[in-house]
Chains A and B, each alone.
Chain A
Amino acid sequence: MGINHKIKSGIMKPLLIIILFLPLLIKAQTDTVRQKKLEAVIQYSIQCPLYSVNTPADLALPQDTKYRSRIGLGTKYYPFKRWYASNIISFSQEGGGTLQQRTNANYLKNSILWGYSSSHARLIIFNIFCGIDMNLLLNAKLKYSYSNDSENVSDYFHKFNLSFPFGFGLKTKLFNDIYFNCDFFVSMSPYSISKEPYIRTAQIIYPAFQFGISKFIK
């Protein structure tokens, strides 16, 4: 009993000290993070692009799914405690169609995003965002898998369009202010990406998974 009491006392003292000072430690760490407002980000996404033609009911038809990539680079700026604005420039492979007659459209995207992150002092950080993508068409090709032919169909697309992404995900600290994030997002163009008025086409991206590495640089 006496020995146990001694052991407990021996453990309790540092535990009490830790418990007492923990809020201060966390606050110190949070403050450290807060002071750093600019975060550099590199992202890679795998995304499933689809076309919806004339009516959203079109999406109910059986669709071939083909995942394509997006790679991006940018910054996040935290003007307030947990709110941020982000600008990401990315190369995004999109398109739609069947596997045998598939349209591959590649875009340079400039994404302006607004988001919320839970405290960076936590082990797991929750992140939610939405925004606007300004998309510049680089090229579009119609690929025929049965003949291995393809033809340039860029002229059928608006050169510039907008889309609205929305997503959420989790983030964790790896080491030395370097973070890893994994997000789920969807995106939709608000008006037709087709130049032809009689085929109103929305570019849908659903689903998409984004992985990123980021570092506070300022």
Chain B
Amino acid sequence: MKNLLVILIIILISFVSCKKEDPPLSLDSKIERIAKSHIIFGRTPGIAIGIYHDGVITQYFYGTRNLSTGQTIDEFTMFEICSITKTFTALLFADFVIKNEIPLNDTIDDYFPEDFNIPNKDGKYVQFLHLLNHTSGIPREPDLPNLQAFAVFNENDLKNYLSTLQLTTTPGSNYEYSNLGMGLIGYLLERISGKTYSELLQERIFTPLGMTQTVCSETDFITDNNAQGYFGSNETDMYIWSPVFAAAGTIKSNLHDMMIYLIENIEYENSILKEPLILTKQRTFSVNENLYLGLGWHLTIDGKGDEIYWHNGGTKGFSSFIAYNNSTKDGVVVLINSYCTGEQNNIGIEILNLLKEY
């Protein structure tokens, strides 16, 4: 028995490892550790990361765009950018406002077909502004049987849904994230302009900014450099969005184009869309002392008082994150070809914090 105890103690002691001081890592090494950790532990097939720091773009690619083939990711690999689409929708709407085509504070009732019944609450009507900053009181989305029901929810479904809908809160009073609310912006812009959401974005945003490979239409997404989406270890089909929901998440893009968009937002004073960009940055609603809503964008005030504009996104097969520090002019884009439970935010925020140190 004594011998056994001695052996046990020796084994226990042998298991206690001495802590070594790690040498300081370069920014590139730290970003690699952040990204690779998600591949090692997180079942993430591939990650594309772009940073804008001290006026320089750097891109990082890890893992694969397709687990079956092992093909690598590059700056032109196409991803679903998911709900980052909402910031494009807001920018598009801001362009209409700047050009005096629609007032931001107009109520939306007048822009629907006459036989639509648009709900109100406490005598307050939903304005475009409320849809753009998620304070309309319209729920996140209707009770749909599954996520792909986004694809088939048509105008008639919308009419029926709105006719019985009761707003959850008084418009303009509470923040409640709404895919349908943002989807309605795209739907109404199509009605107002007589053009499709895709045509409007191409004409007013993508082409002026030089985002030549960014698309909305599912048919345009077919390239030979698409990332395959994954839900856990299962391959997923590309997400399809009906015109009612398209403005909430339909855009497909790559790191090359998303870095253009990031820089346009950071260096907005030199942008061809300067005035619409400034409009999207305005604080339109305060959730609490650290979280505000712009148009489409969330704005967090970090511990050092810096303004961090951000949006994340996720579909069944893709995850995304974009953020920029309006004070330091640093920014980050993260594109992942799998469903995540918030990892894309962790990666993006961690990198944005790192950029302050280097």
Contact = CB atoms under 8 A, between A and B. Distances in A.
Interface of A: 51, 53-55, 57-58, 61-64, 75, 77, 87, 89, 96-101, 103, 108, 110, 134, 136, 140, 142, 144, 146-147, 153, 156, 159-160, 193-194, 196, 198-199, 201
Closest 8 CB pairs of A and B: A146-B70, A61-B232, A62-B232, A100-B67, A201-B41, A196-B37, A198-B346, A64-B233
Contact of A51 (B11, B41, B230, B233): B41
Given A98-B43, A103-B40, A61 B339 contact: yes
A156 B33 contact: yes
Interface string B64-79: 1001111000000000
Interface in B311-347: 339, 341-343, 346-347
Contacts of A87: 4, 8
Given A156-B36, A198-B34, A198-B347, A101 B67 contact: yes
Contacts of B11: 89, 110
7 contacts: A51-B43, A53-B341, A61-B233, A75-B4, A98-B67, A146-B70, A194-B41
Contact of A134 (B15, B38, B347): B15
Interface of B: 4, 8, 11-12, 14-17, 33-34, 36-43, 45, 63-64, 67-70, 230-234, 339, 341-343, 346-347, 350
B348 to A, nearest CB: 10
B70 A97 contact: no
A64 B17 CA distance: 32
B172 to A, nearest CB: 33
Contacts of A142: 39-40
Contacts of A108: 15
Given A53-B343, A134-B12, A146-B70, A101 B41 contact: no
Contact of A101 (B64, B231, B234, B350): B64
Contact of A196 (B8, B33, B234): B33
B15 A110 contact: yes
Contacts of A75: 4
B342 A54 contact: yes
A52 B212 CA distance: 39
Q: Which of A96, A110, A199 has its CB near the most chain B CB atoms (within 10 A)? A: A199
B233 A99 contact: yes
B233 A198 contact: no
B41 A160 contact: no
B69 A146 contact: yes
B43 A160 contact: no
Contacts of B40: 97, 103, 140, 142, 153, 156, 194
A101 B343 contact: no
B12 A110 contact: yes
A200 to B, nearest CB: 9
Contacts of B16: 160
Contacts of A159: 17
Contacts of A53: 38, 41-43, 341, 343
Given A57-B341, A103-B41, A62 B4 contact: no
Contacts of B230: 98
B8 A144 contact: no
Contact of B343 (A99, A103, A153, A199): A199
A199 B43 contact: no
Contact of B37 (A96, A156, A160): A156
Nearest to A142: B40
Given A53-B43, A196-B37, A198-B37, 12 more contacts: A53-B38, A53-B341, A54-B341, A61-B43, A97-B40, A100-B70, A110-B12, A136-B15, A140-B40, A198-B34, A199-B37, A199-B346
Q: Which of A77, A147, A159, A193 has its CB near the most chain B CB atoms (within 10 A)? A: A159
Given A144-B70, A156-B33, A98 B4 contact: no
Q: Which of B33, B41, B42 has its CB near the most chain A CB atoms (within 10 A)? A: B41
A64 B231 CA distance: 11
B41 A96 contact: yes
Given A160-B16, A198-B347, A98 B37 contact: no
B93 to A, nearest CB: 34
Nearest to A87: B8
B43 A146 contact: no
Contacts of A63: 43, 232-233
A55 B39 contact: no
Contact of A96 (B4, B8, B43): B43
Contacts of A196: 33-34, 37
A96 B38 CA distance: 12
Contacts of B346: 54, 198-199
A8 to B, nearest CB: 54
Given A54-B342, A144-B70, A198-B34, A98 B233 contact: yes
Contacts of A146: 64, 67-70
Nearest to B234: A62
A199 B38 contact: yes
A148 B156 CA distance: 52
